[in-house]
Amino acid sequence: MIDALQKQAIFQLRTSDVDATGVMKVTVAADCFQEVAADHADSLGVGFDQMQAKNLFWALSYLKLTIYSYPQWRENIRITTWPSGFDRFYALRAFAIDDADGKKLVQGQSNWLVVDIATRRPCHVPQWILERLAVPHQPALTVPKEPFTGAEIERNFRVRYYDLDINQHVNNINYIEWILETVPNDILHEQKVQHLEINFRAEARLGDEILCSSFKDRNSSAVFYHRCVERSSNRELIRAQSQWQPLFRFS
C-alpha cells in the first residue's frame, strides 16, 4: 500500500514503446512519468484544471534519469511518483519505474516551475500549492553547467502542430527525441542511454526552426553533450548530457 503523496500506475509496453532493438525507448520512461505525475497532481488538487483556473501551468525545468535495465516489448512496468520537496521557484518531483517483480529499472528526479499563462514567466510556488503538497523545503536539483564548445553533429527541425502540448509549446518528450537524433546511428543501435540530464531553458512554439547539435566528450566516448536553439534568435531552448553503455551491460 502506498501513501497519499505517492501515485502508481502499471503500463504494458506496446510496439510503439520500443525501439528497433525491441527495448523501451528512453522517451517512454519520461512520457510515462509525465502522465502519472499529471494524474497525481489532479488528485492532489494542483493539476491542470486547478492551475488553469488561476492562470498558471506547470512546466518541466529539469529532468534527471538513471536507467539500470531496459524492459522489453510486452513487459509490464510500474511507475511510482511523489512530490519530494520545494524551493522558492521550484516544486521537486521524483519517480521510479520497476518491473513486475519489483526490480528497479529507472530512477528519476525533476524540477518543475509554476508559470504565468499571460506573461509566460515563472513565479514563486504559491502558498496554496505548498499547503496541498505538504512537502518540506529542499534546494532544487543542481543543473550541470558544462560548456557547449562545438557541434560534431547537427540536425534541423521545424515545430509542427503535433509537436505542441496542451500548454501550446513543444512538449519535453520531443526535445529528448530530437537530441537523440544527433547521436550517431551505430551508438543508437549498439548502446543505450544509461544517464540523461536535460535542462529546459525556454519554450518553442509552432513554426519555430530548431537547430539541435551534439558533440562527444573529449575524455569519454560514452558521454555526449547536446543543445537545441531557436535559429532566428539563437535562443537556447535546452541543454543536455547523455551517457551511454552497451545494451548487454544493463542488468
Domain ranges of the chain: 1-141, 143-251
- Residue 52 pLDDT: 96
> Is the pLDDT assigned to residue 117 strictly greater than 90?
yes
Q: Please give the mean pLDDT across all residues of the chain.
A: 92
Give me the pLDDT at residue 111, please.
95
pTM value > 0.85: yes
The 3 state secondary structure assigned to the chain is: CCCCCCEEEEEECCHHHECCCCEECHHHHHHHHHHHHHHHHHHHCCCHHHHHHCCEEEEEEEEEEEECCCCECCCEEEEEEEEEEECCCEEEEEEEEEECCCCEEEEEEEEEEEEECCCCCEECCCHHHHHHHCCCECCCCCCCCCCCCCCCEEEEEECCHHHECCCCCECHHHHHHHHHCCCCHHHHHHEEEEEEEEEECCCCCCCCEEEEEEEECCCCCCEEEEEEEECCCCEEEEEEEEEEEEHHHCC
pLDDT, one tens digit per residue, over 186-203 is: 999 889 999 999 999 999
CATH of domain 143-251: 3.10.129.10
Read off the pLDDT of residues 52-67 as tens digits, 9 standing for 90 and up: 999 999 999 999 999 9
Query: Band of the pLDDT at 146, cuts 50, 70, 90?
Result: low
Q: Do domains 1-141 and 143-251 have the same CATH topology?
A: yes
The CATH architecture annotation of domain 1-141 reads: Roll (3.10)
Checking if the pLDDT of 141 tops 60, the result is: yes
